[in-house]
Amino acid sequence: MITSLLAMDAWCFLARYGTAELCAHHVTVVAHLIRSCPGECYQLTNLSVLLRRLFFFMAPPQQVEFIQKFPPKAAENLPLWQCISPSSPQPPACNETQQSQGGC
């Protein structure tokens, strides 16, 4: 448990102080891992926490790209949006997606 928390902290540190594109790439990788994880397992729990933490480090334009790539209405993306509330994006991202998808 402590090891996984330390790894998440290190990953978040790299995402926070790296480029916006690097952070968005990390979020996409974690999202794909969550979607491919079968059933409930401790790895899924750790990945869900990591996704939630990394998502808030993304810049609003990258949040919009993530929402477009993994739309909340698609059934296969349900595990992702159980970790991240659809109303989570920061206001600028929310306003852009609100116009393109009919509401946040």
Closest C-alpha to 71, from 36, 48, 104: 104
Q: What is the pLDDT of residue 38?
A: 79
CA of residue 43 relative to chain centroid, distance: 16
pTM of the predicted structure, to 2 decimals: 0.76
Closest C-alpha to 32, from 21, 47, 45, 46: 47
Pairwise CA distance, residues 89 & 1, whole Å: 28
Q: What is the pLDDT of residue 47?
A: 92
3-state DSSP assignment of residue 58: coil
- Is the pLDDT at 102 greater than 80? The verdict is no
| All structural domains of the chain with their residue ranges | 2-101
How confident is the model over 18-46, as pLDDT tens digits?
Answer: 898 999 999 999 999 999 987 777 888 89
Q: Pinpoint the alpha helices (H) of the chain.
A: 2-17, 20-36, 42-55, 60-69, 78-83, 91-101
Tokens of 86: 């659809």
Residue 74's pLDDT band (cuts 50, 70, 90): very high
Residue 59 main-chain phi, psi, to 5 deg? -70, 155
The pLDDT mean for the chain works out to 82
Tokens of 9: 């902290």
How confident is the model over 53-72, as pLDDT tens digits?
Answer: 999 889 999 999 999 999 98
Higher pLDDT, 60 or 15: 60
